[in-house]
Structure 1
């Protein structure tokens, strides 16, 4: 168990990159390039919305950063 902890501690960027690359590769093989790109985009949007919720930023304020104000 100590081996895996040390491996993660010293190589977390490489391990994360390999895992993300593997997942993106699988998505492209399964869905095709543009569908995989859309899925990755949706995941990124969900991540940023979740990050805003974790920081207690009101959703309206978060959306106003990216979209023009509604008149």
Structure 2
């Protein structure tokens, strides 16, 4: 029981992300070919988002991405 309490207190986002990814992955397992790879990808994505939420970081750094795109592809040089 101590493990679940520690996971809930210290790693709430990662735990929720892996559980959500696992549930979505299991649902997907019933419907396609590259099942295992897609399942692992879904679980890892849930873990990654949960880790970002635990660290209070943005899940997708929109400002950094926008700045990079604008530096890469300027319309008028």
| Fold shared per TM-score above 0.5 | no
TM-score (norm 2): 0.37
Higher relative contact order (CA 8 A, sep 6+): 2
Structure number with the higher helix fraction is 1
